């Protein structure tokens, strides 16, 4: 796709999904795509390599949370991988202060360099495990919004993510199918970590007027401080989820 073709395809895809995308934002997404596909030849960043699929499955999908993030807030993207949703969010929401966290150092180096190339001063990339950063005073209960896309089952995810949220803040988990079942299973974990489910929001990803895939946002409010014993060591979280 040429740059103008990409910009036009991007604007149509966002419009179809009820979102706006300015020509400048679409241009920035074009630059991000070129960089991601070029680095992807030597590093495993994404299995989605067709530009039109990247627009829908990475960019439109990532930005579905934007409407649920209040202005001028702090966000941590736990398990950001190649920067989803954090990089598109940083392009579309210059008002946010975003931390992108991942346990894989080379992906974080890619995210950091990409943010610098794209001039995204609102994004900081950190290499580390969520269960280790969630107990550090400078990260624990410091964020208005905690988000995660395709990282773990909700029961595991809540113990990893809720410690980062301020009381009064929220966690937004991006799920495809089985969101309802996961939410039912995670009930006790949510309560134990200081959370309360606000809503499960179905928001299908539309590819055209008659083709779509199921997506869900699970929004959990942080009502009380997470007890000091959470998050536990990852082996305990995964072997014996709350």
Binding residues (CB under 6 A) for ligand SAM: these are 79-82, 84, 101-104, 107, 129-131, 149-151, 160, 234
Q: CA-to-CA distance for 7 and 15, rounded, in angstroms?
A: 12
Residue, CB closest to ligand SAM: 81
Nearest distance from C-beta of residue 210 to ligand SAM, angstroms: 26
Distance CA 230, CA 8 (A): 46
Give the shortest CB-209-to-ligand SAM separation in angstroms: 26
Q: Are 118 and 124 in contact (CB under 8 A)?
A: no
Q: Name which of 132 and 204 has its Cβ closer to ligand SAM.
A: 132
Q: Which is nearer to ligand SAM, 144 or 159 (CB)?
A: 159
Closest distance between ligand SAM and the C-beta of residue 32, in Å?
13
Cβ proximity to ligand SAM, 179 vs 223, nearer residue? 179
Q: Which is nearer to ligand SAM, 8 or 124 (CB)?
A: 124
The C-alpha atoms of residue 92 and residue 50 are separated, in whole angstroms, by 22
Q: How far is the CB of 61 from ligand SAM (least distance, A)?
A: 8
Range list of H helices, the chain: 3-16, 23-39, 51-54, 61-63, 86-92, 105-117, 130-133, 154-161, 179-185, 187-192, 234-239
């Amino acid at each position: 796709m040429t740059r103008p073709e990409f910009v036009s395809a991007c604007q149509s895809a966002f419009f179809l999904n009820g979102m706006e995308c300015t020509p400048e934002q679409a241009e920035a997404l074009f630059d991000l795509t070129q960089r991601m596909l070029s680095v992807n030849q030597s590093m495993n960043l994404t299995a989605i390599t067709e530009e039109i699929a990247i627009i829908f499955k990475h960019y439109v999908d990532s930005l579905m949370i934007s409407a649920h993030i209040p202005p001028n807030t702090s966000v941590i993207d736990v398990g950001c991988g190649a920067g989803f949703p954090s990089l598109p969010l940083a392009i579309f929401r210059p008002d946010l202060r975003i931390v992108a966290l991942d346990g894989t150092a080379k992906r974080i180096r890619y995210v950091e360099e990409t943010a610098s190339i794209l001039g995204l001063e609102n994004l900081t990339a950190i290499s580390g495990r969520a269960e280790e950063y969630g107990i550090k005073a400078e990260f624990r209960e410091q964020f208005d919004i905690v988000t995660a896309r395709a990282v773990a089952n909700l029961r595991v995810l809540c113990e990893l993510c809720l410690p980062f949220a301020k009381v009064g803040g929220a966690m937004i988990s991006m799920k495809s199918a089985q969101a309802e079942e996961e939410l039912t299973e995670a009930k006790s974990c949510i309560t134990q970590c200081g959370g309360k489910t606000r809503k499960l929001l179905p928001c299908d990803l539309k590819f055209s007027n008659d083709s779509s895939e199921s997506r869900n946002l699970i929004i959990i409010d942080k009502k009380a401080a997470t007890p000091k014993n959470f998050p536990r060591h990852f082996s305990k979280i995964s072997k014996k989820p709350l």
